[in-house]
A and B are shown apart, each in its own frame.
Chain A
Amino acid sequence: MERITQIVDGTTLLDNFNLHIFEGEIMGLVSINYHGQEALVRIICQNIPIHYGYVYFQETLVNNYKHSSMTMNRVAVIEKQSRLVEDLTVVDNIFVLRNGFKKYLINPKILEDQFKQFSKELGIHIDGNQLVSNLSFFEKCVVEMLKAIVGGVKLIVIKDISNFISTTDLIKIHDIIRYYSTQGISFLYICNHHEEAFKICDRISIMKNEKVLKVLSKKEFKQEVIAPYTLDFNRIDSTTAGNISKEGILSFQNVSTDNIHNMNFSATEGECLVFLDMNNTVLEDIIKLMNHEISPNSGKILFDDSNYNDVLSLRKNICFIQENPIHSMLFKEMSYIDNLCFLLDKKYPNLWLSKKIKKSVIQEYEPLLGKDIYCNDITELDAQSLYNLVYYRIHLYHPKVVFCIQPFSGADMYLRRHIVYLINQLRKKKITVIILAVNLSDSLAVADRLMIIEHGKLSKEYHSREFQSFRENQ
């Protein structure tokens, strides 16, 4: 891609953007902020109109500012939103649903044999006749990659894979990427963290505000080289640590479910706990347990020193912040203040009738949220303001415990730092924060304790003073 500039509705999405990926290369792309990342992936996949520049694919000019053919390039994108058909089998997805599959009659046995060759090559054991809906995230990723390879794709874009693949599986995915790169397939590895990119990439482009700031070659993969382009995530607000009380608020005593085995922990008031699920198997069970969707097979859960079977108290005192909360937790049709007060009606049933309460909320939160609090159409606001809305909704409601599910997923560097600040704001109000994650991201910048879960069991526990040794072990 040479000097690509794309302007849509007066907004510059890419500005004089250059990117060169060689055959068999694993090119990294680390975004300081997200401006232009979506546009870049779209231009790589499809030859859509651009304002200036040239796009070459396999040394052929496929798109330029004079003429864009709108054709698709042989590129596959692997991201959290799977592009597989869940109700079809693995072999159907790989072979039948690919462009250029000529045969009308399908012989599953032949396809299965072909699939076996591929899986043997990779040392992966997946049943080709299994429905895709039964596969894990990792297996789906492998199947998507195989589908791309079988379909003759020359470039695979891997986007934020560590947000949904467990740490253990990420190593396996890296091995597969390396294997196919030696076969001549090129990769664009997009991720939030340079540490992750250092492990797998041959070169790394650092992107900020629609532009490439610097391209690092392998020998430049050093903390001091990248430091000028990244933000400091060391304890942003260390005052919160002193805010922790010794009183236990939530504890698991030998709790077992289908995926959890004898889990023991106790979270205290105002504490921030991070659960790092190395195999991505137990987080869903923890959420379901706290939602009362399932009950423990054995063991005991204590909430505020009483048994957690008091569903009403639990619902009142536990909140969740979903992954990508802008999309999953906000109501676009409601105003900012209505969104902010959304949970509060549990405490004040007359909230929607009385203007007094809303006025008082505005008075209290305007210094924190600024003029955005008066906004009627929240779709006009930027991501940071919407994250404020999500976290201050919880702040206003003041539950005893809040579960944050992958809070840093899909956030750029500035936003991640802001999320750390927002989590600390919750902790200042003595709300216990429990982060559920499959990758560490920036969780350690806010955590008091890190709990490592392996194969459904708590395997290790690190206190904040030991984080450095944990990082070194990684």
Chain B
Amino acid sequence: MKKIEKQSTLKRILAIRGMGQVITVAFGLVILCIIFGILNPTFFSGRNIGNLLRQIAPILLIGIGQSYVLITGNIDLSIGSVVGMSCMISATLMTKGVNPWVAVLITLICCIAVGIMNGELVAYCKLPPFIATLGTMTVARGIAQIVNNNYNTDSIGAGAKGFRDFFYYGRTFGIYNTIWITIILWLIFNFILSKTRTGRHIYAIGSNLEASRLSGVNIVSTTIKAYIVSTFCSCVVGLIICATSGMGTMDAGNVYEMYAVAASVIGGVSTLGGQGILLGTVIGASIWGVLQNGLQFAGAPVAIRNIVIGIIVVISVLLDIIVRTGGKPRKKKEAVVSENGVKA
């Protein structure tokens, strides 16, 4: 009797949307850690693990945002530029003597405005998300450049000590605040995605837009919400970078959109929309972090690290498409007809 109960619990866990894939990827993560641990025993040192977690935190944050957007069936290419914009706006304001927390608030408002714009362009104006967010990516990077007249800012100074302590130096229960912020935001966004009506609507519009519309789901507002989460997370990452470097740099967050897609997709979030869980994004971001860290230890140059991560992302997307389309990677959502009249 007890055995049956155990089986049903396991079945229940596996039945959670995308959990099977998450378990598989987690298994891959463990193997990676073991390999890097064997290659270099310092990989498992407390100091390295602390560094690794701090390295993973921003990638996980932008991964959460990208996962929200990917689940709605869209993509956000503006993530990296929003990180840069957030870093530059907050740093510029602080160097001009604005109270750091007011600067944070203003930065948040600016970033959320970008999120709203993305959502409006995609859901209301029906622009392809790739084009819409490519546009806002350029706009946000332009804003990052223009706020301080095409220069990186000076040091944000002693007035921003509290801000730097909170986002960079500060520890709570011996763990860096950055990691705590990431954990808390993950818990909140995971709760919203898995336990609330908004979460269900996000999955619904990614899975079947027409059915969602007919079911009374507000497509525009749900899409905007997803993009807001994405830019909010990017904003927090921008603030962390600002606190870490103690200044605003215009190219902060460069190619972060790629890292965000990597974290989400490796963790099982589908690029076709409608599928994925944030636990997967944690594993995806961890794989990214472990690969970066491990390859660094192994002495691999940056180019090689990028090649490895790029290949892993492509393979993850390919696997996702193969799994979802029944082994036919070239299948699109609309029927395509092959030579002998069979849908390809």
A-side residues, CB < 8 A to B, are 82-88, 92-93, 96-101, 103-106, 129-131, 287, 291, 293, 315, 318-322, 325, 327-331, 342-343, 346, 394
Q: Taking the nearest CB of chain A, how far is it from the CB of B171, in angstroms? A: 33
Query: Which chain A residues border B211 with CB–CB below 8 Å?
Result: 82-85, 97
A86–B207 touching, CB < 8 Å:
yes
Between-chain CB contacts (< 8 Å), 5 pairs: A87-B204, A88-B207, A97-B217, A98-B215, A343-B340
Query: Which chain B residues border A106 with CB–CB below 8 Å?
Result: 195-197, 199-200
Query: Which chain B residues border A291 with CB–CB below 8 Å?
Result: 342
B24 at the interface (CB under 8 A from A): no
Given A87-B203, A87-B206 in contact, is the A97-B343 Cβ separation under 8 Å? no
A85–B203 touching, CB < 8 Å:
yes
| Highest count of chain B CB atoms <10 Å: which of A88, A315, A319 | A88
B343–A83 touching, CB < 8 Å:
no
Given A105-B195, A105-B196, A106-B196 in contact, is the A97-B340 Cβ separation under 8 Å? no
A88–B341 touching, CB < 8 Å:
no
Given A83-B210, A106-B197 in contact, is the A97-B215 Cβ separation under 8 Å? yes
* Residue of A whose beta carbon sits closest to that of B275: A87
Given A85-B203, A92-B204, A104-B198, 4 other A-B residues pairs in contact with their CB atoms under 8 A: A87-B204, A88-B203, A343-B340, A346-B339
Query: Which chain A residues border B303 with CB–CB below 8 Å?
Result: none
B152 at the interface (CB under 8 A from A): no
- CA of A342 to CA of B341, assembled, Å: 10
* Residue of B whose beta carbon sits closest to that of A342: B339
Q: Taking the nearest CB of chain A, how far is it from the CB of B292, in angstroms? A: 31
Query: Which chain B residues border A103 with CB–CB below 8 Å?
Result: 197
**Per-position 1/0 for B192-232, Cβ under 8 A of A:** 00011111110110111011101111000000000000000
Query: Which chain B residues border A84 with CB–CB below 8 Å?
Result: 208, 211
**Per-position 1/0 for B317-344, Cβ under 8 A of A:** 0000000000100000001010111110
A88–B200 touching, CB < 8 Å:
yes
Given A85-B207, A87-B275, A88-B204 in contact, is the A96-B340 Cβ separation under 8 Å? no
A98–B341 touching, CB < 8 Å:
no
- CA of A96 to CA of B199, assembled, Å: 10
B197–A319 touching, CB < 8 Å:
no
* Residue of A whose beta carbon sits closest to that of B194: A106
| Highest count of chain B CB atoms <10 Å: which of A96, A318, A319, A346 | A96
- CA of A129 to CA of B11, assembled, Å: 12
- CA of A259 to CA of B195, assembled, Å: 37
Query: Which chain A residues border B198 with CB–CB below 8 Å?
Result: 104
B342–A320 touching, CB < 8 Å:
yes
B161 at the interface (CB under 8 A from A): no
The bracket for how many chain B residues form the interface is 20 to 34
- CA of A277 to CA of B200, assembled, Å: 36
B4 at the interface (CB under 8 A from A): no
B15 at the interface (CB under 8 A from A): yes
> Which of B200, B207, B340 contacts A319 (CB under 8 A)?
B340
B126 at the interface (CB under 8 A from A): no
* Residue of B whose beta carbon sits closest to that of A317: B340
- CA of A97 to CA of B218, assembled, Å: 11
A96–B216 touching, CB < 8 Å:
no
> Which of A93, A104, A328 contacts B337 (CB under 8 A)?
A328
Query: Which chain B residues border A96 with CB–CB below 8 Å?
Result: 197, 200
B340–A320 touching, CB < 8 Å:
yes
Query: Which chain A residues border B206 with CB–CB below 8 Å?
Result: 87
* Residue of A whose beta carbon sits closest to that of B199: A106
Q: Taking the nearest CB of chain A, how far is it from the CB of B146, in angstroms? A: 40
B212–A328 touching, CB < 8 Å:
no
B84 at the interface (CB under 8 A from A): no
- CA of A131 to CA of B337, assembled, Å: 29
| Highest count of chain B CB atoms <10 Å: which of A83, A85, A100 | A85
Query: Which chain B residues border A293 with CB–CB below 8 Å?
Result: 327
> Which of A82, A101, A105, A321 contacts B341 (CB under 8 A)?
A321
B274 at the interface (CB under 8 A from A): yes
Query: Which chain B residues border A86 with CB–CB below 8 Å?
Result: 207-208, 274
| Highest count of chain A CB atoms <10 Å: which of B206, B215, B343 | B215
**Per-position 1/0 for B298-310, Cβ under 8 A of A:** 0000000000000
Q: Taking the nearest CB of chain B, how far is it from the CB of A24, in angstroms? A: 25
Query: Which chain A residues border B204 with CB–CB below 8 Å?
Result: 85, 87-88, 92, 97
Query: Which chain B residues border A329 with CB–CB below 8 Å?
Result: 337, 341
- CA of A88 to CA of B275, assembled, Å: 9
A104–B196 touching, CB < 8 Å:
yes
A87–B207 touching, CB < 8 Å:
yes
- CA of A315 to CA of B341, assembled, Å: 11
- CA of A100 to CA of B216, assembled, Å: 8
- CA of A83 to CA of B207, assembled, Å: 11
> Which of B15, B212, B335 contacts A97 (CB under 8 A)?
B212
* Residue of A whose beta carbon sits closest to that of B335: A328
B15–A129 touching, CB < 8 Å:
yes
B195–A87 touching, CB < 8 Å:
no
- CA of A190 to CA of B16, assembled, Å: 38
Q: What are the 9 tightest A-B residue pairs by CB atom distance, in nearest-first order?
A: A87-B274, A87-B207, A99-B216, A97-B215, A85-B204, A85-B207, A83-B211, A96-B200, A85-B208
Query: Which chain A residues border B342 with CB–CB below 8 Å?
Result: 287, 291, 320, 322
Query: Which chain B residues border A92 with CB–CB below 8 Å?
Result: 200, 204
Given A86-B274, A99-B216, A319-B340 in contact, is the A104-B197 Cβ separation under 8 Å? yes
**Per-position 1/0 for B168-207, Cβ under 8 A of A:** 0000000000000000000000000001111111011011
A315–B340 touching, CB < 8 Å:
yes
Q: Taking the nearest CB of chain A, how far is it from the CB of B202, in angstroms? A: 10
- CA of A293 to CA of B315, assembled, Å: 22
- CA of A107 to CA of B342, assembled, Å: 44
Query: Which chain A residues border B203 with CB–CB below 8 Å?
Result: 85, 87-88
- CA of A60 to CA of B133, assembled, Å: 47
| Highest count of chain B CB atoms <10 Å: which of A87, A105, A322, A329 | A87
Query: Which chain A residues border B210 with CB–CB below 8 Å?
Result: 83
- CA of A328 to CA of B274, assembled, Å: 25
- CA of A327 to CA of B334, assembled, Å: 11
* Residue of B whose beta carbon sits closest to that of A397: B340
Given A92-B200, A96-B197, A98-B215 in contact, is the A318-B340 Cβ separation under 8 Å? yes
- CA of A342 to CA of B342, assembled, Å: 13
- CA of A87 to CA of B206, assembled, Å: 9
Q: Taking the nearest CB of chain B, how far is it from the CB of A349, in angstroms? A: 13
* Residue of A whose beta carbon sits closest to that of B191: A105
